[in-house]
Amino acid sequence: MPTMAWLHFSRTVPVRPGSPAPDRATQRRYGFGIPSRPMSAQPEDFLVNLRAFADAEGVRANELNRPMEILNNALGRVVSVDDRPPQPSQPVVAAHLANALDAATNAVGGLIRSIVDRVGWAAPYPEYAGESDMDAMRANYAYAPIVGGALDVISAGSVFAPYISEEVFVGLVLQGPNCDYPSHVHKAEEVFWVAAGTADWQRGDAWRVDGPGAVIHHLSGTRHATITREEPLLMLFAWVSDPGSIPVIIRD
């Protein structure tokens, strides 16, 4: 069975051995150790901030060094899309995004606030429409591509990313309260950063509870599921391999 990890980090600025202590400007660049504020809304600044964030995550945990290097390198080659059709939204976004953003006081929340007005939202798994558990999940769940392919295969092309890449897939997830995302699997290697909300997570055969500040790494082929509680779950995610893969629900 593939290995998986639960990673919980203190929000401190990464310092390589022998380096001087970071000044306050460096702390603000990485968003650690100080209250999170909205970052620059300029598109190029968002990419700079995201790459700095990925670099910091790779420094903080050896397990993330390789996937964050892949992500950072790929982000340096993305293409910005200026002319896009109107972007869709979803009911769960209208109902819960504002509260989730208010609760997202960490660095991930700052990244999300700096891009959220430029993304559209889609419900995944259109191929499962008509199945009762999936209909309930899709009504209370949405994702927003930030960096992705020219065609979003998961939503069958109903939403478009503001940045194009065939190497990685980066986006947001908003899962409403009391929502069961069933056990599923995909080929992509995946990292989640929890900005707000607490949920029960399945990885392989194990379950545990994770909340704001958690970093969750799934290697390719890891079976996982998420069940929220009384609050919405807001996350940033990155697929650093097989960005065109499609998740498959596991029916026991």
Domain spans of the chain?
4-249
Joined tokens for residue 2: 């593939």
d(C-alpha 107, C-alpha 29), whole Å: 10
> What does the pLDDT read at residue 42?
53
β-partners of residue 169 are 239
> What does the pLDDT read at residue 119?
97
- 195 within 8 A of 173, measured Cβ to Cβ: no
Joined tokens for residue 25: 């400007």
The CA distances from residue 184 to 98, 181, 222, 248, in Å, are 28, 8, 8, 5
Q: Classify domain 4-249 by CATH architecture.
A: Sandwich (2.60)
Residue 176 phi/psi, 5-degree rounding, is -70, 170
Q: Which residue ranges of the chain lie beneath pLDDT 70?
A: 1-43
C-alpha 124: how far from its chain's center? 14
> What does the pLDDT read at residue 43?
58
- 124 within 8 A of 143, measured Cβ to Cβ: yes
